[in-house]
């Protein structure tokens, strides 16, 4: 148990890096951290924190949010492991969380396979099973065909389950990183070494984790006036600040300028690896949705828009960090040769129509994306995309390549005003969490399911 109230708050803040807490609740935790440390923040910081913390769940009458405060977790293999334990008694006991650990699951499959003389990956039901004579020769002749087949099928299903689990865990990591950058990878020691650093990182991460709102305008920027007030505290105590931890979520020149070359390279290597992983996801989603029109990026039936948009968000985050680190390291000549473009999200047809009806149109960035080589081909070296090509295409469509983030890190934006977190139902803001819960339980409200029934109920 934490031995000091301040450590307890730091533990809660560190845990929030992998959760989806509302920024208001994080602001309240920061206030409690300051109180536990007997720190009186300056008036500007105190006012900014109070503006957010006033809407924390612990300070409102209902104390409730209808939205999950965590990212969706993949369904593990606990049920399959339990079945394996019943069919293969020689398997050693496993801890409760083994069903979420791919390495343990694979070890069970391999160990159980040895009992029936099955090699890992031998999943062909027609070619890889042993017949009666082969079972007798292998020393398992006492197993009937039915009992042998039952075990063979289980291990085959477990391998398929393991592949799905690995895919979903990878996808969850992409979602979390796309919204909160590398904050969730910080160890407690890195995070909590300086409480002011911890407060800033936790609050900005919570802002990044906010859900997208159904709108024909831009989404909220994570860096708001509360984050800025906390950042000013880091500026005032820059010798104590853990700038390396801050760079995990806020890679502006001022922050990166405090890092050593070794720290910059360590971050660059991690983002390089992540960029390539996301590029593979994008390519896979692109191949599976071959009818995507790159010049419009409007969702059509059969498109896996969720996977694409999650990967596009992750690409945008990783690319922004990568550009910032390359620039800080003075590697602009690399960008002269290899300058992978931005990736737009797929847009729902109703949002596209909303844009047109409100006098807008397709964002010029979409035209630039459509003309440039696909980024996964650029990273593999199959197609060339130098900075000069990006600049030429941007000029053709009236896009500023620097201000638009196509050829350089985006200019540092002014802090956004704080606005309380809305309760959302399929991206649509509603009045309060109780109403949101009622709408979410009602079939088809704000979604494509059961629209007639929902319309009749609410008219």
Please report the pLDDT score of residue 96 as a whole number: 85
Beta carbons within 8 Å of 17's beta carbon, 6+ residues apart: 180, 183, 184, 186, 191, 201, 202, 205
- DSSP string across 268-313: HHHHHHHHHHHHHHHHHHHHHTTT--TTT-B--TT--HHHHHHHHH
Minimal CA–CA distance to 44: which of 191, 228, 185? 228
DSSP code for 125: T
pLDDT of residue 183 exceeding 90: yes
The percent of residues in the chain predicted with pLDDT above 90, rounded, is: 67
pLDDT of residue 430 exceeding 70: no
SS3 at position 259: coil
- Tell me which of 4-13, 372-381, 448-457 is least confident: 448-457
Q: Where are the domains of the chain?
A: 78-169, 251-396, 423-458
Tens-digit pLDDT profile for residues 272-292: 999 999 999 999 988 887 677
- The encoded tokens of residue 319 equal 């690319």
Average pLDDT over residues 141-158: 94
**Banded pLDDT at 332 (limits 50, 70, 90):** confident
Average pLDDT over residues 94-123: 93
């Amino acid at each position: 148990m934490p031995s000091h109230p301040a450590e307890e708050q730091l533990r809660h803040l560190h845990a929030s890096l992998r959760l989806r807490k509302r920024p208001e609740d994080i602001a309240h935790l920061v206030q409690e951290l300051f109180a536990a440390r007997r720190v009186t923040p300056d008036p500007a910081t105190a006012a900014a924190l109070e503006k957010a913390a006033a809407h924390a769940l612990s300070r409102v009458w209902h104390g409730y949010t209808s939205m999950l405060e965590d990212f969706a977790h993949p369904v593990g293999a606990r049920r399959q492991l339990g079945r394996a334990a019943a069919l293969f008694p020689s398997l050693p006991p496993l801890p409760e969380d083994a069903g979420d650990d791919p390495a343990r699951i694979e070890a069970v499959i391999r160990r159980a396979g040895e009992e029936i003389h099955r090699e890992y990956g031998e999943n062909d039901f027609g070619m890889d099973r042993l017949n009666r004579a082969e079972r007798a020769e292998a020393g398992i002749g006492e197993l009937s065909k039915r009992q042998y087949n039952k075990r063979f099928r289980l291990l085959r299903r477990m391998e398929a389950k393991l592949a799905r689990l690995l895919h979903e865990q990878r996808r969850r990591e992409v979602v979390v990183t796309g919204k909160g950058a590398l904050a969730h990878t910080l160890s407690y020691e890195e995070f909590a070494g300086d409480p002011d650093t911890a407060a800033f990182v936790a609050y900005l991460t919570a802002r990044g984790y906010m859900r997208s709102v159904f709108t024909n305008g831009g989404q909220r920027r994570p860096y708001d006036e509360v984050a800025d007030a906390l950042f000013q505290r880091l500026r005032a105590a820059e010798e104590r600040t853990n700038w390396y931890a801050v760079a995990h979520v806020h890679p502006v020149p001022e922050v990166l300028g405090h890092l050593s070359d070794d720290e910059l390279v360590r971050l660059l290597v991690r983002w390089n690896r992540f960029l390539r992983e996301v590029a593979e996801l994008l390519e896979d989603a692109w191949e599976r949705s071959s009818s995507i029109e790159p010049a419009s990026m409007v969702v059509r039936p059969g498109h896996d828009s969720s996977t694409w948009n999650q990967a596009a968000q992750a690409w945008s985050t990783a690319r922004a960090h990568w550009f910032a680190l390359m620039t800080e390291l003075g590697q602009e000549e690399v960008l002269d040769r290899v300058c992978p473009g931005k990736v737009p999200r797929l847009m729902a047809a109703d949002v596209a129509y909303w844009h047109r009806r409100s006098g807008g149109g397709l964002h010029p960035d979409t035209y630039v994306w459509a003309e440039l080589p696909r980024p996964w081909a650029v990273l593999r070296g199959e197609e060339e995309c130098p900075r000069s090509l990006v600049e030429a295409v941007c000029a053709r469509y009236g896009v500023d390549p620097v201000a638009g983030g196509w050829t350089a890190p985006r200019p540092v934006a002014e802090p956004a005003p704080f606005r309380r977190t809305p309760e959302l139902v399929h991206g649509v803001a509603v009045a309060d969490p109780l109403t949101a819960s009622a709408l979410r339980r009602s079939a088809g409200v704000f979604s494509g399911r059961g629209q007639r029934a929902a319309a009749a109920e609410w008219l």
